[in-house]
Amino acid sequence: MGKVMLEVNNLKTKYVTRFHEDVYAVDGVSLKIEEGKSLGVAGESGCGKSTLALSLMGYYFAPLHYISGDIIVDGRKISGMKPDDVRKNILGNEIAYIPQAAMNALNPTQKIIRFVEDVIHAHDPKMPRKDIYDLAKERFQILGLPEEVLQKHAVELSGGMKQRTVIAISTILSPKVLIADEPSSALDVTSQKMVIKMMRDLMEKGFIKSMIFITHELPLLYNVTDDIMVMYAGQIVEKGTAKEMVFDPLHPYSKGLMGSIIVPEEGVREQKLTAIPGTPPNLKHPPEGCRFADRCPYAQPTCRGMKPEVIELPNGREYRCLMSERKVREVYANA
């Protein structure tokens, strides 16, 4: 077992709306990532993926509030730290975060090298600009970005190039954890592949120690990450290796998600896509029992009254359902 890079225990965060209502967007999430491993987070829109990403940074600003739980990065507890301390000491060199529209964050009036200087000076104000340039040049070259990019403005770059530049800048301090929230969703397939290759390179060259990758594109997760975790209504409903999750999902929600995979390979045309009916529940008033019960094709009357606990299997897989593993397989075989 490798060194644990990120450990999260029972993390709970909430949004407070302007009518002072609480929305529990991340509700008791626990996870662990070892050095050199990557974790994918899947789920449909509105299930709390992006809120989880924001919560993991440990940097909270309204309307997002921290309630309880621990976030431990490489042995250092960051939950409960003051926001300013988190910003100065954690973001950038311990945890890096790439939001969904990261490429739009580049100020059009500045050269790319200024952003690199900004990031480095925020943590080490004394580093000379020449050294920064050399470091950036070397890093960009390793990652397959031309050196000239550093002297360009954001408007001169294409979308895919901007996205890769942002990723290179945000990982310039070699963070321990990279949280990537849909880094390739706005790109076409070719640029997407380049972004994915770059993230793979970052891992292989040791510029980042571990990665959390959030997306709803399951074939992508399958190819990029070691483990996949499925979220629903702010909770983790299933966790397992990528292969297990795609070919042998246990939770009915994961099964529904895996039924929406479309790839250009033989046999896919004959498969019937399954869509999950309905929408995720309103988290202002989460359902009493199982949160997925209303949309679950296998729901029993007991599901609505009883909260399912996480079941851990001997091989390390986890899922949150009232059915036992044997029962689940039986139900799927008959369906």
Partner 1 sequence: MRDGKELKPCLSGRGVTKVFGFGDAKTVAVDHVDFDFHEGEFVSIVGESGSGKTTLSKMLLGLISVTEGEIDFQGKPRDISNGKKKKEYWKGIQAIFQDPFASYNMFKRVDSVLLDCINMRGDKNLPKEEKERLMTEACSFVNLKYAELTNKYPFELSGGQMQRLMIARIFLLKPKILLADEPTSMIDACSRATILDMLLKLRDEINMTIIFITHDIGLAYYVSDNVYIMEHGKFVESGPAEEVILHPTAAYTKRLISDVPKIYEPWDLTTV
Residues binding partner 1 (CB under 8 A): 44-46, 188-190, 192-194, 196-197, 200, 216-220, 222-224, 246, 256-257, 259-269, 273-277, 279
Shortest Å distance, C-beta 296 to partner 1: 14
Question: Which CB, 42 or 78, lies closer to partner 1?
Answer: 42
Question: Which CB, 79 or 235, lies closer to partner 1?
Answer: 235
Residues 6+ apart with CB under 8 A from 90: 57, 58, 59, 73, 78, 81
Shortest Å distance, C-beta 244 to partner 1: 13
Shortest Å distance, C-beta 277 to partner 1: 7
Element (H, E) at 206: none
Shortest Å distance, C-beta 280 to partner 1: 10
Question: Which CB, 5 or 180, lies closer to partner 1?
Answer: 180
Shortest Å distance, C-beta 147 to partner 1: 19
Shortest Å distance, C-beta 281 to partner 1: 14
Residue with tokens 């990450």: 225
Question: Which CB, 28 or 46, lies closer to partner 1?
Answer: 46
Residue of 322, 328, 278 whose CA lies nearest to 304: 322
Contact 233, 48 (CB under 8 A): yes
Strand 235-241 relative to strand 227-232, pairing = antiparallel
Q: Is 109 left (phi over 0), alpha (psi -120 to 50) or beta?
A: alpha
Q: Is 142 left (phi over 0), alpha (psi -120 to 50) or beta?
A: alpha
Question: Which CB, 47 or 173, lies closer to partner 1?
Answer: 47
Peptide bond into 63 cis (omega under 30): yes
Question: Which CB, 71 or 187, lies closer to partner 1?
Answer: 187
